[in-house]
Amino acid sequence: MRDMTLADVDAVLAIEQAVQTYPWTRGNFMDALNSGYVCRVDEMGGEIRGFAVLRLVLDEAELLSIGVAADQQRKGLGRALLLEMLDLACQKNMLRVFLEVRASNVAALALYRSAGFGEIGIRRDYYQNANGSEDAITMACELTGEING
């Protein structure tokens, strides 16, 4: 894994558009890079397979986005990206990491729970979906220097 660069945005955007019903825009990724967020990509053989974006604020972090190319899913890459972000948050002396996930995203909820995240709230009608909207589950992981995996 390595830092995301401006040259990676097209590949990252292609993954995002392929795997998300309501994807981030090019502007969202550009803003994240230009704002100094922790943006990482997983690359193998010159191909970007996944990405993650983490925003650091004082002693807390928020996982803003994580995505894995459709043909690379269910191979542990999402977990590897998540653990990388948690490790980087620890290195930056963050105390906790927050995230929001669609209530319907059972696979992501299981991944986050297995990595030490717990539910701390619900944001009603937070995400758009085909039926109008759905809730977001807000989760947090307290960082102790040891990352669950």
Which of 100, 119, 134, 146 is flagged as catalytic?
A: 100
State the pLDDT at residue 144: 79
If pLDDT is split at 50, 70 and 90, which confidence band does 95 have?
very high
State the pLDDT at residue 148: 54
Which of 22, 84, 112, 146 is flagged as catalytic?
A: 112
Please confirm, yes or no, whether 22 is among the known catalytic residues: no
Domain 2-142 has CATH 3.20.20.70: no
State the pLDDT at residue 71: 93
Give me the mean pLDDT over the 55-72 stretch: 95
Q: What is the pTM of this model?
A: 0.91
Give the Cα separation of 129 and 148 in Å (integer): 31
Say how far residue 134 (Cα) sits from the centre of its chain: 19
SS3 per-residue string spanning the chain: CEECCHHHHHHHHHHHHHHCCCCCCHHHHHHHHHCCCEEEEEEECCEEEEEEEEEEECCEEEEEEEEECHHHCCCCHHHHHHHHHHHHHHHCCCCEEEEEEECCCHHHHHHHHHCCCEEEEEEEEEEEECCEEEEEEEEEEECCCCCCC
Q: What are phi and psi of 2, to 5 degrees?
A: -150, 170
Structure-token pair, residue 66: 């994580």
Give me the mean pLDDT over the 14-30 stretch: 93
If pLDDT is split at 50, 70 and 90, which confidence band does 147 have?
low
For 43, counting Cβ atoms within 10 Å of its Cβ (0-12 exposed, 13-18 middle, 19+ buried), the class is middle
Nearest Cα to Cα of residue 86 among 136, 131, 42, 40: 40
Give me the mean pLDDT over the 8-29 stretch: 94
Give me the mean pLDDT over the 7-35 stretch: 94
Please confirm, yes or no, whether 62 is among the known catalytic residues: no
